[in-house]
């Protein structure tokens, strides 16, 4: 006797199969595998991920004493035998390269911010800076993967997938998790980004991020093929759903449930996505606030504006990846372009959310995968320097839902090379984000291959000074 067939037949006769099928499909827009563990301050998150690793020394972590040490060798007592990347491992000299940019205090909080970020400076009191983030990876791909999934090796669910799984959606006509990518004007040959960075890992695939494109249709295959109108598509999907339900009842594969729900989502997105991406209703003032690139599809500015429109409509997680920050050489030239791309739009997003009453329950985070070295990669000249990867300390900021504004957490040493006070691990950063969303990071788990996994693995503590 075929045991599997007998089991299926028994489930069908007893009606348990029907109940199991119902449990696999979302029953409402708010259906989710878990609920907030405590009252949430934030309902949604916008992640402004600066891929390639921005230099904390040139943007946020001012070290005025380095000006007198320009060209000196980085002391061994500071380096402490740190491992080096393949780009600088063969260097015989590690000259100190102080920033060439001026810093000033801004707002009542007195945050130190570089002249490269004048718009960010104007919203300084809305932000809280973490200057002692540190990570475990020293190269881009594992470091970006670690920041997004909590593990250096590919295959784990991403932050947005965890949120979709844990909290569900607030809008039945748009994806729970949306991703957009922009290419910066700094380093046009920056590190690639892979779809697995917003993937669902071992979670059901309906939780993976949906990438919006900047050219052509925002989402592939939404349009009906030639000769098929909306009513014909509806009839086709209804018939297809019946076949998929039959297969699901027979096989019990949750990915079939995903297929059913995603077909339905795609049908609804045929109306919701064009309305979302039609910016004709936005005022001229809004475009001016986000900057000259706001009307150019695919730019960081345009994506920031779309991020606001997405969270207005209840999308749970929006991630903007902006490439171009990998400045091993020609940093003074390249970083100017990157800041021009991102400074005004990021600040405008904060102001826009606030004036619409959305900042209080929207968490916004800004940062890259690691920082940059104080020593110069390559030849240090009067006007030029480069910086290698530096996982020991780097800066990110958080704002909005659940975050106490106007703070600066942690202190680095005089070289921005080691942490002097209050280290914050990437897992701590992730735990704090989840906390703002009402989630205890130790309890949002999923069993795979006999083990309960979570975003923060077996680590992470909420940064209590940051949260309300």
The larger pLDDT score, comparing residue 390 to residue 25, is at 390
pLDDT, residue 35, reads 66
pLDDT, residue 273, reads 84
Q: Which of 230-234, 306-310, 407-411, 416-420 has the lowest mean pLDDT?
A: 230-234
DSSP labels, 385-435: --EEEE-S-EEEEEEETTBPSSEEE-EE-TTSSSEEE--EEHHHHHHHHHH
When pLDDT is averaged across residues 323-348 and rounded to a whole number, the result is 97
Closest CA to 257 of 31, 4, 35, 443: 31
pLDDT, residue 24, reads 40
When pLDDT is averaged across residues 104-117 and rounded to a whole number, the result is 98
The larger pLDDT score, comparing residue 351 to residue 219, is at 351
pTM attached to this predicted model: 0.89
Q: How far apart are CA 412 and CA 393, in angstroms?
A: 7
Residue 136: which pLDDT band, with cuts at 50, 70 and 90? very high
The larger pLDDT score, comparing residue 359 to residue 17, is at 359
pLDDT above 60: residue 297: yes
pLDDT above 70: residue 2: no
pLDDT above 70: residue 20: no
Q: How far apart are CA 128 and CA 440, in angstroms?
A: 21
Reported as a single tens digit per residue, the pLDDT across 423-446 is: 999 999 999 999 999 999 999 999
pLDDT, residue 260, reads 79
Architecture of the domain whose range is 40-219+283-453: 3-Layer(aba) Sandwich (3.40)
Pure H helices in 15-44? 16-24
When pLDDT is averaged across residues 400-424 and rounded to a whole number, the result is 97
Reported as a single tens digit per residue, the pLDDT across 149-203 is: 999 999 999 999 999 999 998 888 999 999 999 999 998 888 899 999 999 999 9
pLDDT above 80: residue 358: yes
When pLDDT is averaged across residues 208-232 and rounded to a whole number, the result is 82
pLDDT above 70: residue 89: yes
pLDDT above 80: residue 6: no
pLDDT, residue 27, reads 34
Q: Where are the domains of the chain?
A: 40-219+283-453
Q: How far apart are CA 273 and CA 306, in angstroms?
A: 11
215-220, long-range: CB within 8 Å, 24+ apart, which pairs? 215/297, 215/298, 218/273, 218/276, 218/277, 219/266, 219/269, 219/273
pLDDT above 90: residue 298: yes
When pLDDT is averaged across residues 62-90 and rounded to a whole number, the result is 94
pLDDT, residue 379, reads 94
When pLDDT is averaged across residues 303-311 and rounded to a whole number, the result is 98
The larger pLDDT score, comparing residue 273 to residue 374, is at 374
pLDDT, residue 110, reads 97
Residue 33: which pLDDT band, with cuts at 50, 70 and 90? very low
């Amino acid at each position: 006797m075929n045991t599997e067939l007998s089991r299926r037949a028994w489930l069908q006769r007893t009606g348990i199969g029907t109940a199991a099928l119902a449990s696999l499909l979302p029953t409402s827009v708010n259906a989710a595998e878990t609920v907030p563990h405590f009252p949430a301050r934030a309902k949604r998150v916008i992640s402004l991920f600066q891929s390639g690793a921005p230099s904390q020394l040139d943007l946020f972590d001012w070290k005025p004493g380095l000006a007198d040490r320009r060209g000196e060798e980085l002391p061994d007592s500071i380096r402490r035998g740190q491992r080096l990347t393949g780009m600088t491992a063969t260097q015989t000299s590690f000259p100190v390269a102080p920033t060439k940019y001026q810093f000033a205090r801004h707002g009542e909080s007195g945050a130190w911010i570089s002249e490269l970020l004048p718009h960010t400076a104007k919203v300084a009191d809305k932000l809280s800076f973490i200057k002692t983030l540190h990570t475990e990876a020293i190269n881009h791909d594992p470091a970006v993967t670690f920041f997004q999934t909590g593990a250096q090796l590919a295959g784990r669910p991403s932050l947005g997938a965890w949120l979709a799984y844990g909290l569900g959606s607030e809008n039945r006509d748009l994806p729970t998790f949306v991703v957009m990518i922009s290419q910066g004007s700094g380093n046009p040959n920056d590190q690639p980004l892979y779809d697995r960075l917003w993937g669902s890992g071992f979670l059901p695939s309906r939780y993976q991020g949906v990438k919006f494109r900047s050219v052509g249709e925002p989402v592939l295959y939404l349009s009906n093929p030639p000769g098929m109108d909306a009513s014909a598509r509806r009839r086709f999907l209804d018939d297809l759903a019946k076949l998929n339900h039959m297969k699901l009842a027979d096989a019990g594969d949750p990915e079939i449930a995903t297929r059913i729900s995603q077909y339905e989502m795609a049908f609804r997105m045929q109306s919701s996505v064009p309305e979302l991406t039609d910016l004709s209703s936005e005022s001229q003032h809004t475009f001016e606030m986000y900057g000259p690139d706001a009307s150019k599809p695919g730019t960081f500015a345009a994506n920031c504006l779309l991020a606001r429109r997405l969270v207005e409509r209840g999308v749970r997680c929006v991630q903007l990846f902006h490439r171009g920050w990998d400045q091993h050489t020609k940093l003074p030239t390249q970083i100017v372009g990157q800041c021009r791309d991102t400074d005004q739009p990021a600040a405008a997003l904060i102001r826009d959310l606030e004036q619409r009453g959305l900042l209080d329950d929207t968490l916004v985070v800004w940062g890259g995968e690691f920082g940059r070295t104080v020593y110069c990669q390559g030849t240090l000249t009067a006007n030029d320097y480069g910086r290698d990867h530096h996982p020991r300390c780097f800066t990110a900021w958080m704002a909005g839902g659940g975050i106490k504004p106007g703070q600066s957490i942690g202190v680095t040493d005089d070289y921005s090379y080691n942490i002097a006070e209050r280290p914050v691990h990437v897992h701590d950063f992730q735990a704090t984000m989840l906390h703002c969303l009402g989630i205890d990071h130790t309890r949002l788990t999923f069993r795979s291959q006999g083990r309960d996994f979570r975003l923060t693995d077996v680590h992470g503590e909420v940064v209590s000074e940051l949260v309300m």
